[in-house]
Amino acid sequence: MKQTLILALVASLFLVSCTKDKEILNVLNTYNLEMESKGYVLGETIELPQEVTQNAKTITLSFGDQSTDKLVVDPKFFLLGDNAVTFQVETSSGEVLSQDATINVFAKNPEKEQNFEIVQQYPHDTSLFTQGFYLEGNTIYESDGKNGGSRLVTYPLGSTTLSQVTMQPQDVFAEGLAVVGDKIFQLTWYNKKGFIYDKNTLNLLGEFPYPGMMGEGWGLTFDGKQLIASDGSKNLYFLDSENPSTILKVIGVAGHKEVFSQLNELEYHKGFIYANVWQKPIVLKIDPAFGEVVATYDFSQLALKHTTGNDDVLNGITFKGENMLVTGKNWPTIYEVRTN
**Min. distance of Cβ 206 from Ca ion in angstroms?**
22
CB-nearest residue to Ca ion = 267
Note whether 87 binds Ca ion by CB under 5 A.
Answer: no
Note whether 274 binds Ca ion by CB under 5 A.
Answer: no
Run of H or E including 13: helix 2-38
**Min. distance of Cβ 227 from Ca ion in angstroms?**
12
**Min. distance of Cβ 156 from Ca ion in angstroms?**
17
Q: Which is nearer to Ca ion, 269 or 338 (by Cβ)?
A: 269
CB 73 within 8 A of CB 43: yes
Note whether 142 binds Ca ion by CB under 5 A.
Answer: no
Note whether 268 binds Ca ion by CB under 5 A.
Answer: no
Binder to Ca ion among 144, 267, 292, 336 (CB under 5 A)? 267
Q: Find, among 111, 37, 44, the residue nearest to 292 by Cα.
A: 111
| CB atoms inside a 10 Å sphere around CB 55 | 19
Q: Which is nearer to Ca ion, 302 or 317 (by Cβ)?
A: 317
Residue 173: strand, helix, or coil: coil
Q: Find, among 327, 325, 285, 324, the residue nearest to 302 by Cα.
A: 327
Note whether 292 binds Ca ion by CB under 5 A.
Answer: no
Q: What is the 3-state secondary structure (H, E, C) of 294-327?
A: EEEEECHHHHHHHCCCCCCCEEEEEEECCEEEEE
**Min. distance of Cβ 317 from Ca ion in angstroms?**
5
Q: Which is nearer to Ca ion, 235 or 327 (by Cβ)?
A: 327
User: From residue 121, how far is each of 133, 285, 336 by CA, in Å?
Assistant: 16, 22, 6
Phi, psi of 97 (to 5 degrees): -95, 140
Q: Which is nearer to Ca ion, 254 or 317 (by Cβ)?
A: 317
Binder to Ca ion among 31, 77, 106, 133 (CB under 5 A)? 133
Phi, psi of 35 (to 5 degrees): -75, -25
- Binding residues for Ca ion, how many (CB under 5 A)? 5
Q: Please report, as ranges, the residues that interact with Ca ion according to CB under 5 A.
A: 133-134, 267, 317-318
